[in-house]
Amino acid sequence: MSMMNSDTSSQGGNDRKNFKETTRHRLLYEMIRSAKRPGSKSNWKVLIMDKVTVKIMSQACKMAELTEEGVSSVEDISKRRQPFPKLDAVYYIQPTKENVVILLSDMAGKTPMAYIFFSSAVPKELVAYIKREPTIRSRFRAMKEMNLEYNVIDSQCFITDHGKALEDLYGDEEINYKGDECLAAMANRIATVFASTSEFPLVRYRAAKSLDHTTMTTFSDLIPTKLAAAVWNILMKYKTTLENFPHTETCELLIVDRSIDQIAPIIHEWTYDAMCHDLLEMDGNKYVHEVPSETSGFERKEVLLDEEHDPVWLELRHSHIADASDRLHDKITNFMSKNKAAQMHQGSSRDGDVLSTHELQKLVQALPQYSEQKEKLSLHADIAAKIHSIRRKTGLNDVGKLEQDLVYGDAGTKDVINFLKEQMDIPHEYKMRLLMIYAATHPKKFESEKLTKLMELANLSHDDMNVVYNMRFLEAAPETKTASALALKLHLKKKKGLRIDHPGEESALQLSRFHPMIEELIEKLSKNELPMSEYPCMNDPSPTFNGASHSGSARVHDTPGRSMRSRPSTWARPRSSDDSDPAQSRTTREFKKMGKRIFVFIVGGASRSELRVCHQLTTKLRREIILGSSSLDDPAQFVEKVKSLTSKDKEIWLDDFEI
């Protein structure tokens, strides 16, 4: 029995879709729609998945879309299930021994026919195991490797769903064993991204501090190197096993880890999206708020804040919170002045007049749109008010200013001491995050008593102190701790870990001053200015490959080199700025005109600010920027992960490591 590989050729040529559309298209049409018997009148089937693939499916497709393709029921392969003797089954599962045993058991029962789709490459031993059951095998209508094992959580973001990557790679005494297992699984899922998009990347990665075989390094410093090597090995197999997989470079992949920017996941970010996830109690994109009940009082209602369900969210999410509030106010005012139902509702309420039949007819015609828009605007007005209240009650503006001053070297130990003495009532979480930033920007303080005294002054608990101390595990290696780790030739002060504004730039308000470091990394990569010595390639690029090339007339305009953390800023930029969400104006047709994709993968968790940057740079560079990571973390989640680090990092001889 041969194992068929999924044909991803539909994504090439002129049929280019954005990243999430590509994933959805493969799941719905290439997999679900293809599972139909020739000449069959019935299209109904049962979809059976495991705990990994059910997440992949739920984040890429809606249940209504599955129903439209004939899925009548979704089942968990690991649970006892009601038999469906008249319906064929579609299995979308990982290629594990446990799943295959259950699959064969199902087929020995009343399941008539099955279409098997594995999420990644099937090991030879599992293929041999399946071949032992020829009578059952005859009832397999199809068996394919989909090579799709990643979670799409945004139109330009995927995760490998390794929530414990930080702990496994940086924080266990068995770090080599756990770390290698984690990286192998991560590499497998990253590779399926390129199988799904029919892309073959030029693979670059943050280099270890030295590739001299006489040098000792640590496991954590080798993480990007090891991951790049593992991804590369799988891509090489794809060249021989996937029919339409490219043989020359079509895109770029940059693999880094959290050592390039320890600040981004913990600093208070001031955009609407980031503040919602940081300050409000959200479960992923789910937000619960109170709405008036039909009977009396209020009831709790769960809503999704995402780009597909909420156009107001899509417009405001990457705007600075002050600008988002102004835009929201204008939208509400405009809505009330132009919507007929709103006007009539206001007029009737104000004057006490009875509406005429003609007016009632107009009101009924406008009501569906009125109700939906009113609900969305009311939701975001409530959210903006809550954020404003939290900022005011907790003194967040003062905390945010000091955080950014520490990053740029405009504040030091004395400023932190004074702040902690004067601001005794700020939440302990803010103090802890402030001291985490202090530790990251003052790495030498780990070896002194000053950091301990600061934490005692902040009245941090023992557990919170450990979180601050654990920031040392995310430091870059000594040779790469400053400019070489970032490979950006930033204008740095002599004191390590501090960045300063570009000389000659006008001073500005501080709360929109911060920019994640991947912003400049991506721009440097796009302009072919990223140093090969610090970010080497796994493969020598083909002579015809030009990462910055663009189809059509789109061009990247170079700007004078400067640190992205040295941009002039204001509390809220003008409406014409790039703060508005660029995804609103991008269509499939525009994606066809873009240059080669750039994929950036961050080991150890990505932040909302880094996702925002990828959206904004897609418009600026005319190249679709895809952010990947082991997870997408809000600050509280990242802090909990740092708390788990208890590493006794081991030294490794580089001559024992093979690429």
In a domain, 498, yes or no: no
253 and 299 together in one domain: no
| DSSP assignment of 60-104 | H--HHHHHHTTEEEEEETTS-----TTSEEEEEE---HHHHHHHH
Can you read off the two tokens belonging to residue 249?
């470079």
Q: What share of the chain is helix, strand, coil (3-state, %, to 5)?
A: 45, 15, 40
Q: Which residue has tokens 């990092």?
A: 649
In a domain, 406, yes or no: yes
CA nearest to 114, candidates 95, 136, 99: 136
- Position 349 scores a pLDDT of 46
Residue 287, beta-bridge partner list: 282, 303
Torsion (CA) 27, 29, 34, 40 in degrees, nearest 10: 130
243 and 276 together in one domain: no
Among the three residues 465, 486, 507, which one is the final residue of a domain in this structure?
486
Q: Are 269 and 607 in contact (CB under 8 A)?
A: yes
Q: Are 657 and 180 in contact (CB under 8 A)?
A: no
- Position 587 scores a pLDDT of 55
In a domain, 47, yes or no: yes
Q: What is the Cα–Cα distance from 106 to 130, expressed in whole angstroms?
A: 13
Structure letter (DSSP) for residue 499: B
| Strand boundaries in 94-206, DSSP class E | 114-118, 140-145, 151-154, 157-159, 201-205
306 and 201 together in one domain: no
Q: What is the Cα–Cα distance from 535 to 225, expressed in whole angstroms?
A: 10
420 and 528 together in one domain: no
Spell out, as residue ranges, where the chain has pLDDT lower than 70.
1-16, 110-111, 171-176, 210-216, 339-369, 477-510, 544-592, 647-659
Which residues are within 8 A (CB) of 578 and not within 5 positions of it... i.e. 6 or more apart? Answer: 616, 619, 620
When divided into structural domains, the chain yields a total of: 4
Q: What is the Cα–Cα distance from 312 to 326, expressed in whole angstroms?
A: 13
8 and 145 together in one domain: yes
| Strand boundaries in 495-648, DSSP class E | 595-603, 623-629
Q: Are 370 and 415 in contact (CB under 8 A)?
A: no
Q: Are 269 and 609 in contact (CB under 8 A)?
A: yes
Kindly report the CATH number assigned to the domain that includes residue 529.
3.40.50.1910
End-to-end alpha-carbon separation of the chain, Å? Answer: 33
130 and 166 together in one domain: no
129 and 18 together in one domain: yes
Condensed to tens digits (0 to 9), the pLDDT of residues 8-55 reads 544 444 456 889 999 999 999 999 999 887 777 778 999 999 999 999
In a domain, 549, yes or no: no
User: Which structural domain range is residue 354 located in?
Assistant: 272-394
Among the three residues 379, 394, 409, which one is the final residue of a domain in this structure?
394
351 and 328 together in one domain: yes
26 and 145 together in one domain: yes
CA distances from 273 to 5, 384, 513 (A): 39, 11, 17
Which residues are within 8 A (CB) of 553 and not within 5 positions of it... i.e. 6 or more apart? Answer: none
- Position 12 scores a pLDDT of 43
Among the three residues 117, 149, 181, which one is the final residue of a domain in this structure?
149
| Residue 250 identity | T
Exposed (0-12), middle (13-18) or buried (19+): which is 584, by Cβ within 10 Å?
exposed
CA nearest to 69, candidates 17, 24, 106, 131: 24
Can you read off the two tokens belonging to residue 557?
């305009």
In a domain, 502, yes or no: no
In a domain, 623, yes or no: yes
DSSP, collapsed to helix, strand or coil, labels residue 216 as strand
Count of residues for the chain? 659
CA nearest to 193, candidates 132, 142, 238, 258: 238
311 and 178 together in one domain: no
Q: Are 127 and 2 in contact (CB under 8 A)?
A: no
Kindly report the CATH number assigned to the domain that includes residue 17.
3.40.50.2060
In a domain, 349, yes or no: yes
652 and 529 together in one domain: yes
178 and 228 together in one domain: yes
Q: What is the Cα–Cα distance from 399 to 430, expressed in whole angstroms?
A: 7
In a domain, 612, yes or no: yes
